[in-house]
Structure 1
Amino acid sequence: MEIILLMVLVVLVGLMVSSRMTAMEKRMRQQQNTLNQMANQLGIPEPPVHEEVRQLLADGQDIKAIKIVREELGLSLGRSQAICRCYQAWGAVEPGRGKKCGFPITNEVLHSPG
């Protein structure tokens, strides 16, 4: 009987934590959208990726280029790879061109830490 009560308690706590996390994620997305709108209105440029990244990609050193993008922009591995694919395809990263890169490149992707 005690084990069943304990299991029910654990499930309830898990559901509570999950709903709180969902609410926090929603607020964070709203704040990120607000920041993106402010950056666009103020004319703040996209985060720069060093010329070294372009040169490394041109030299076929993709792994080093991805590592630099991760370090400079603080992005996850997948996002860094997508940005490098865009550089290889077009020589620049532009929001909205992500389908060909294999990852949706948006202002939020470029500004989010992971």
Structure 2
Amino acid sequence: VLAHWPEVKEIYRGNSDVFVKYFHLYGNLQIKFDETRSTATMQSKVINPIGVNDEEGHLRLFQVHGVYDDVLRKTNEGWRITNRVWLQGWISGDYPFAGGPAEIGKAR
């Protein structure tokens, strides 16, 4: 799924009633700067614990695992992500949807 930041924000806003619990945990950051130190690439391991209520109102807990592959640029306001690619790993736990994580709000 290809989406730009304004679209991604709307997806999250539109699914706010679906997520009862929602976290984003980043770790194992690997940053590589270019020779001018004005741009960089970064990979980060992401674990996303989520809780949703199923159709019967039961809490379903699961985790989405993957990697963010980012391109960063140094600006006057600080470092900014200019491109982000999500590399899906796996889903563990009591996942209640038929499709992948991009399908989470569409099931309702």
Please give the TM-score of this superposition, normalised by the length of structure 1.
Answer: 0.26
Please give the TM-score of this superposition, normalised by the length of structure 2.
Answer: 0.27
